[in-house]
Amino acid sequence: MTTSNFHTNSFLHHLSIESPKPMELAKFYSEILGMDYKKITHNEKTKWMCFGNDRRIIFSSGKNKKLDFAAFSCRDNNSLEKYKNYLISENVKIIDFETPFFIEGSFGVVDPDKNFLVFGLSNSKEGISYSSSFIDKIYAPLQHLTFKSKNVESFESFYEKKLGFFVSDRVMKEDSTLATSFLTSNHEHHTIACFKSNTIEIDHHSYETGEWQRIKDWCDRFEKKGIQLKWGPGRHGPGNNLFIFIEDPDGNWIEISAELEVIHDRQVKVWKHEPKTLNLWGPHSVMRS
């Protein structure tokens, strides 16, 4: 299979995450990741929208680290309609769903772990901008989201066979079960990934800063704001990206990535489930189960 076979050409546009203290979390992302925030009412719930520098995230009151939804933006109305028709032809249940960062016409689907994904069109093209007044500029757009799942095979099958994502890499355990699956909805190595676990939750979300120099800038920024790295710097095997990780007050892991592989036409790469796959450079402090 090649990437020309996939049916979506979308990128991860924004996330909505629940928190016992959503306002505090919004303040953290504003201060540490350089975003503005404002309180809104959406679907009769009070929420906090964080926005700026191509990063968008919504926090609402609820459980710690629980994904409310992940939203993917398509290129234009034609591609959104085409994708919706493809999903209908695959018997994927479509749910009408509006989000404050998209224009009317977005819709959602539910994956086998009950994660809710939304597809739509950004409202920034409609003259609605949430970043114009912001001056604290540091580059790294939101880029990918990873999950933990008890059944990576079923997760991968849904995203590949039903949603039309492309499997870029797999990490296999010795018993031939899947430890990790990396899938993409565009030319980026992965926009979604899934790790085998005994829980179902978000693993981390990632911002792509492009270059090694900017990883250093982010590290210096975190140090000035009293934030210590949780992992890295290192280089992942799958995706070949440089990485650092920090943690927000709820325990959500945030990755700053650079040099993520661009793929256009290649076979699936298979990796051994071993420490070097997670960090090509050497020993690491976290081993996935």
Binding site residues, Fe ion, CB under 5 A: 206, 255
Nearer to Fe ion, 107 or 253 (CB): 253
Nearer to Fe ion, 117 or 193 (CB): 193
Phi, psi of 239 (to 5 degrees): 95, -20
Nearer to Fe ion, 118 or 278 (CB): 278
**For the residues of 155-193, what is the DSSP string, one character each?**
HHHIIIIIS--EEEEEEE-TTS-EEEEEEESSSBS-SEE
Which residues, listed in sequence order, are joined to residue 54 by a DSSP beta bridge?
Answer: none
Output the smallest distance, CB 204 to Fe ion, in A: 6
Output the smallest distance, CB 206 to Fe ion, in A: 4
**Is the alpha carbon torsion for 137, 187, 95, 84 positive or negative?**
positive
Nearer to Fe ion, 8 or 206 (CB): 206
Nearer to Fe ion, 48 or 218 (CB): 218
Determine the Cα–Cα distance for residues 184 and 192; give it in Å rounded to an integer. 6
Output the smallest distance, CB 51 to Fe ion, in A: 22
Output the smallest distance, CB 101 to Fe ion, in A: 22
| Cα–Cα distances in angstroms (integers) from residue 95 to residues 109, 110, 134, 267, in the given order | 6, 9, 34, 33
Residue of minimal Cβ distance to Fe ion: 206
Determine the Cα–Cα distance for residues 233 and 242; give it in Å rounded to an integer. 7
**233 upstream amide cis, omega within 30 of 0:** yes
Let me know how many helices (H) and strands (E) the chain has, helices first. Answer: 5, 17
Output the smallest distance, CB 163 to Fe ion, in A: 19
Q: How many Cα atoms are found within 13 Å in the side-chain-facing hemisphere of 246?
A: 20
Output the smallest distance, CB 180 to Fe ion, in A: 10
Nearer to Fe ion, 124 or 206 (CB): 206
| Cα–Cα distances in angstroms (integers) from residue 25 to residues 1, 30, 99, 222, in the given order | 41, 9, 19, 16
Nearer to Fe ion, 206 or 252 (CB): 206
- Tell me which H or E stretch contains 204: strand 201-210
Output the smallest distance, CB 165 to Fe ion, in A: 16
